[in-house]
Structure 1
């Protein structure tokens, strides 16, 4: 199984439009489209990405936040046939007129114009936002940290210990500032993480104030057992993967 240890995966390929509601009791609905044609993401017709967490951004220019509940508890997503889609609200800020929502798409197909629907406007609806429903081992995520407040693993597998980071603005909702000597420890002896030459990926959004820093690292605290991302000088990212038979060293400008 492909595995990912990640803080965020970003994609938004769509356009919000008004449409007639399909769910009884919901007052408003809209359609958005995932474009994988040459005019969009330009994926080949044979391409299929399964279980993809799609980032949907809303802003007041295209969405009236006053029509939804205060914290977005009444929003819902569905595919073109009306089948519900799991989602997680990472950010919902009516005052600023912005929202960031992760929606799990069962299959994104190449060279296609794929509709998903959003519903809102039901005063008695309870929230169904769930990070664990969007990010979990079934679609390759072993842990996911959005770095909001409080810091937590959205998959629910790890317990984080924040050693002095502070809240900050981020690319997607809020983030954390890591001053020297501050960080987030996710535990010891994590049994479900990859080891040896098993496949894995590590992703992180970061903005460094100076080079020669380590945005993220995981694995055993000994030789031949750790994955480390280093922001080097001159500016480049270096990945060192010392996992038994899976050694990798790569530099990216």
Structure 2
């Protein structure tokens, strides 16, 4: 009764688990946004201490989603990214987004998505990324990616012409002097060399800062600045300036008839490193300067913001690189800049792309990652892998050949010994038997037989009637030893290939790894940037060489050990036969036997 009760309970638990699993499977199938899209990937937001470390929540913020060959299967999406879609976590509402860069050859994509909500101190928020539908065209909407307060966004991703505004307000640059297509933190950026180089923006209704002002950008400088203006809107006594003096950013606001109010950072900028500089100004309240997502300085502002009739200048007298310039006509909270640094910076702690899911059967994650690694392997890596593969095929060929030879020898030895053991005279074996052709014992037998036949011929006797002296028996045994040595040479031929595979394969793979890592760091040193998405493909490529080296060494080691064991057994059997053969010949044809 107790056993029956336990079985009933166990069946109940199993049934409940199966039911829950089935319901989860049905829920997942029903949750798929559109069956026409084959693949999807969850993009999770982490604002906890382990992620972006945001305490306050944000809504309708444009979040950067970085895709690279390590977290996205470019082969499963359209070549131009036109089938990419973003959907809310409940799989119901498509989200506005636009692509700044999409390059499957380089394995990089930069996509800006309007996130409905990013909750502070939370890691449960997420959105869905869908792709894998060749029948659709792109529906990007750059303007819809931003809220109505976002007045200007320059990605600086253009390769020629003037910077273009990504918002719906189209506050494009009226003139530009500087360099575009500069490798930057987020795709490409712009470089300025001071002097007259700058971006000029004409005033517009959307660039009205009566209710507040927010400016942010990424910068990298190689030298201290002198009067650099990241943002400047100045005319006479009115001025709204965000700049750098020496190596410290500052904010200055001056209105008609009122003293200028300034806020300067006390922390110096690190040379040749990217920094996020942002300001938030609320009229009649407060103005704050942020450096790398943290408030660096602040001041009370008693009065309205100025409204000069002059043009807005970006990057005037600035020497360095700029990327991702954003201007809003409201005062953004501090969490906005912390999220920007965490989401746009090199660490990318705000967003995480989870494992790919498929709407129907497709290749496994392991196969996809292998393809990703294969695409990252450089020429020198393929050269080493090619050599390792050649060694592997040679080792496999030697193993198969030796294994087949050993099996044939064993079969031939069985037939030979069956006949030899039934002989009265050890020299009366039928040597025309084709079953003995593969037997090494038969070939050793023949060498001894031939030696006795030659000795008997010299004595003028038939081999059946010959009586072997001690000297003749020594010659007979020497013939057996020589024949055995020749058989061992044949058996050991080409075994050096397996030895080289065992000892040389790992070192050859290590050579490719060191070479690949050296090239990876050399390219990083040349570009001046270092981040995980840039390093990971090169390191994966380098480690692939080590893996192929082990692919050679491990099977070669097993094959070598297997063959050596069987060859030792054959050698033991051969030595026993030689002793028995010599003793039987001596007993039948020796002086004492006669």
SS of the residue 1:192 aligns to: helix
The aligned residue for residue 237 of structure 1 is 249
Contact 2:100–2:112 (Cα < 8 Å) also in 1: yes
Q: Distance in 1 between matches of 2:40 and 2:229?
A: 40
Q: Which protein has greater RCO, CA pairs closer than 8 Å, 6+ apart?
A: 1
Deviation at 1:24, TM superposition (A): 2.2
Q: Map 1:161-240 onto structure 2 (within 5 A).
A: 161-180=175-194, 181-187=196-202, 189-195=203-209, 198-210=211-223, 211-224=225-238, 226-233=239-246, 235-240=247-252
Give the secondary-structure state (helix, strand or coil) at the position aligned to 1:206.
Answer: strand
Return the offset for 1:131. 1.8
State the Cα distance separating 1:147 from its structure 2 match: 0.9
- Aligned pairs, how many? 227
Q: Which residue number in structure 1 is paired with residue 171 of structure 2?
A: 158
Match of 2:83 in 1: 74
SS of structure 2 residue aligned to 1:217: strand
Cα distance, 1:223 vs structure 2: 1.8
Which segment drifts farther, 215-224 or 164-173?
215-224
Matches for 1:131-146 after TM superposition, within 5 Å = 131-137=142-148, 140-146=149-155
Aligned to 1:93: 103
Richer in helix (by share): 2
Offset of residue 89 of structure 1: 0.8
In 2, Cα distance between the equivalents of 1:51 and 1:240? 29
Q: Quick one: distance in 2 between partners of 1:195 and 1:116?
A: 33
1:105-141 residue CA offsets vs partner (Å, 9 max, x unmatched) = 122122331121100111122112222111242xx21
Distance of aligned partners of 1:56 and 1:195 in 2 relative to their CA distance in 1, 3 Å threshold: closer
Deviations 1:32-85 (A, max 9, x none): 2112234333444xx321111111111101111111112211101111112111
Matches within 5 A, 1:45-84: 47-82=56-91, 83-84=93-94
Match of 2:564 in 1: none
Secondary structure, aligned partner of 1:72: coil
Over 3 Å counting, the alpha-carbon distance change for 1:152 and 1:203 in structure 2 is same
Measure, in 1, the Cα distance between the counterparts of 2:176 and 2:46.
Answer: 39
Please say which of residues 55-64 and 127-136 is displaced more in the overlay: 127-136
Shift of 1:176: 1.2
**Is 1:214–1:228's contact at 8 Å kept on the other side of the alignment?**
no
Q: Classify 1:222/1:41 alpha carbon distance in 2 versus 1 (closer, same or farther; 3 Å).
A: same
| CA displacement at 1:171 relative to structure 2 | 0.7
Structure having the larger proportion of residues in strand: 1
- On the 8 A contact 2:45/2:126 being kept in 1, the answer is yes
Residue 117 (1) aligns with residue 106 (2): no
**TM-score, normalization: structure 2?**
0.36
> SS of 1:212's equivalent?
strand
Q: Deviations over 1:227-251 (max 9, x none)?
A: 2222221x11111122457953111
Asked whether the 8 Å contact 1:136–1:143 carries over to 2, the reply is: no
Shift of 1:213: 4.7
Q: Secondary structure at the match of 1:66?
A: helix
Q: For the residues of structure 2 that align with 1:172 and 1:221, how far apart are their CA atoms?
A: 33
Over the aligned positions, Cα root-mean-square deviation in angstroms equals 2.2
> How much has 1:28 moved relative to structure 2?
0.8
Q: 2:245 & 2:98 partners in 1: Cα distance?
A: 34
Distance 1:249 1:152 in 2: 30
Give yes or no for contact 1:165–1:184 (8 Å, CA) kept in 2.
no
Q: 1:90 to 1:246 in 2, by over 3 A?
A: farther
Deviation at 1:202, TM superposition (A): 0.9
* Of 44, 50, 54, the match for 1:39: 50
Gaps (5+ residues) in structure 1?
1-18
Determine if contact 1:163/1:184 at 8 Å carries over to the other structure. Answer: yes
Q: 1:22 Cα deviation (Å)?
A: 3.0
Q: Tell me, yes or no, if the aligned pair for 2:95 and 2:113 is still in contact at 8 Å.
A: yes
Structure 2 unmatched ranges of 5 or more:
1-27, 268-594
What is the aligned partner in structure 2 of residue 7 from structure 1?
none
